[in-house]
Amino acid sequence: MYGNIKARDIMTTRLVTLRPSDDIYQGLQALLAHRISGAPVVTEAGIFLGVFNEKSCMNVVIDDQYHGVSNTQVNTFMFTDVRTITPETSLIDIAMLFHSEPLRRLPVLEDGKLVGLVSRRDVLRAVDTTLKKAGIRRKGKSIAPMPYYSALIDPLDNDRQA
pLDDT of 49-105, one tens digit each? 999 999 999 988 888 778 877 778 999 999 999 999 999 999 999 999 999 999 899
Confidence of residue 135 (pLDDT cuts 50, 70, 90): confident
Q: 107 φ, ψ to 5°? A: -65, 140
Confidence of residue 160 (pLDDT cuts 50, 70, 90): very low
pLDDT at site 5: 95
The structure's pTM equals: 0.78
Least confident interval from 53-62, 75-84, 113-122, 140-149 = 140-149
DSSP state of 30: H
Residue 83, C-beta contacts closer than 8 angstroms, at least 6 positions apart = 97, 101, 103, 106
Question: 38: buried, middle or exposed (CB in 10 Å: 19+, 13-18, 0-12)?
Answer: buried
Question: 91: buried, middle or exposed (CB in 10 Å: 19+, 13-18, 0-12)?
Answer: buried
pLDDT at site 46: 94
Closest CA to 46 of 17, 72, 75, 67: 17
Q: Which domains does the chain have, with CATH numbers?
A: 7-135 (3.10.580.10)
Confidence of residue 161 (pLDDT cuts 50, 70, 90): very low
- Could you tell me how many residues make up the chain? 162
In angstroms, rounded to a whole number, what is the distance separating the alpha carbons of residues 158 and 38? 50
Q: 92 φ, ψ to 5°? A: -65, -40
